[in-house]
Amino acid sequence: NNSSRFGKFIEIHFNELGHICGARIIQYLLEKSRVVQQAKDERNYHIFYQLCAGADQALRDELQLLPPAQYNYLNQSGCIEIENVDDKADFQAVCDAMQLLGLAEDMQRTVFRIVAAVLYLGNVEFKSSDAVQGTEGSAVSNPDTLAIVARLLQVDAGKLAEALTIRHNLIRGQKFVVPLAPQQAVDARDALAKALYKSVFSWLVEHINSRICNAKLVVSFIGVLDIFGFENFKVNSFEQFCINYCNEKMQQHFNQHIFKLEQEEYEREKLGWAKISFNDNQECLDLVEKRPLGILS
């Protein structure tokens, strides 16, 4: 039940009297890959299951919601429901929190509409289609599902289909139209789903900050860093590589300041203490970044 896959730095703000007067959230490296694939026995982000379980009939009809098991983005891992987790009650808690933070009802419905569109995007499928000059192209094989996505996103279904099956390249001022093969179209579909989820997530964080942060009152703050965990999927994307690399860098920073520098200071001051051993990940970082043979060098 761990789907809070993003890093965040939380500032707890204090006023001149030393009282808590607000907070601010800085989020980074949201694990977008989880939107389109999950490891065995893990769930996607909570809100997908909560929306399916907790939406009232009016909202369910508006979004044309299906049971979670009928969405490709939710049924891959074999884990839909979790013991002692009430998705319906949690959805109501989400709605209450949105109301408390001053998110108007129409904006709440817009957020849920985008979440539903992401779910339906995962159900859009593609078939091979002849393209110009004998190259393989693709076409949407279930246009009814695409029409639902277009309605939820309030865009033209034809233009959405074109965006998923054709790539436009601009080379030296000339525009070239490149048809996408079915697997490439699937990749484009997944990229769009991840971008949509990322955008609505970032917008919500910004809205929360606008309600809980009053910079004029802040005199000092305590920072709390919530480092995200490592992941090792069956198929690891470049995005996941970057997340894990960032984790290694942050772990090294922690090691450097908590273990290396502190112990060196203890040695300089000749303090009696027991030396602490730790796993130094410098070799892992060298593999990625050390010149001239590092992966990213």
pLDDT tens-digit map of 121-145: 999 999 998 766 667 899 999 999 9
Q: What is the mean pLDDT of residues 54-77?
A: 96
Q: From CA 226, how far away is CA 2, in angstroms rounded?
A: 14
Given a cut of 80, whether residue 33 has pLDDT beyond it is yes
pLDDT at site 132: 60
Highest mean pLDDT among 53-62, 161-170, 237-246 belongs to 53-62
CA nearest to 231, candidates 12, 33, 24, 26: 33
Q: Which residues of 42-69 are buried (b: 16+ CB within 10 A; e: fewer)?
A: bbbbbbbbbbbbbbeeebeebbebeebe
Of 74, 80, 79, give the one whose Cα is nearest residue 37. 74
pLDDT of the residue at 214: 93
| pLDDT, mean over the chain | 90
Mean pLDDT along residues 39-52: 92
What CA–CA distance (Å, rounded) separates 189 from 166?
Answer: 11
Residues 16-30: what's their mean pLDDT? 92
Q: What mean pLDDT is predicted for residues 11-24? A: 96
SS (H, E, C) 98-131: HHHCCCCHHHHHHHHHHHHHHHHHCCCCEEEEEC
User: What are the helix (H) ranges across 125-181?
Assistant: 143-153, 157-165
pLDDT at residue 3 above 60? no
pLDDT at res. 4 = 59
**Is the model's pLDDT at 230 over the cut of 70?**
no
| Predicted confidence (pLDDT) per residue in 178-216, tens digit | 899 999 999 999 999 999 999 999 999 999 999 999 999
Q: Quick one: average pLDDT of 15-29?
A: 93
Tens of pLDDT, residues 80-118: 998 899 999 999 999 999 999 999 999 999 999 999 999
Residue 13: phi and psi, rounded to 5, are -90, 145
Structure tokens given for 141: 């094989």
Q: What is the pLDDT of residue 2?
A: 60
Share of the chain above pLDDT 90, in %: 62
Residue 286, pLDDT > 80, answer yes
The confidence score (pLDDT) of residue 246 equals: 84
